[in-house]
A and B are shown apart, each in its own frame.
Chain A
Amino acid sequence: AQKITQTQPGMFVQEKEAVTLDCTYDTSDPSYGLFWYKQPSSGEMIFLIYQGSYDQQNATEGRYSLNFQKARKSANLVISASQLGDSAMYFCAMREGYNFNKFYFGSGTKLNVKP
């Protein structure tokens, strides 16, 4: 089974609007971490936000927030007030407690912000 599933290959959003990128995960380990990364066309991977499985509150980092629904095993990324510079690929990733060194990445969502 896929560890990380991103079902939206591509998304469009109007500048200044909010957008939600979906991510579901699969693990039986009670200890895990969830991450979102942004990859612009230049190829670098930029860390955006982290959510630990034991964290009680949803993580937020500036315009990024992670909507963590543990029972549903979802970790959606919400970007508020989209900017043209947000256009990029976005990857959801997970690390599991038993092998915390290994990241599992989803297939990615290509976000296009329209002016």
Chain B
Amino acid sequence: EVVLTQSPGTLSLSPGERATLSCRASQSIKSTYLAWYQQKPGQAPRLLIYAASIRATGIPDRFSGSGSGTEFTLTISRLEPEDFAVYSCQQYDYSPWTFGQGTKVEFK
């Protein structure tokens, strides 16, 4: 199965700062099949980005995704207080569909 490795495990930042999250795949996947989710404690995941770079409905433009092949990135240009959460990447190219272990963005 495709293993997605996210780094760093935890990112300690302040509101207004830029967050850069990485997702590395164990084999090349089509960009069409890479998504990012945000999850807050006690809540279900929320789709942020699909097809590596397309924002889902209602997602602010401070969230952006990029990458191809085995390297993908989620960038939050200026952190808002509500952005402190766990972010997970997911691939839907090869079954079984897999998720990364998550990056926690926490208050510094």
**Chains A and B bind each other:** no
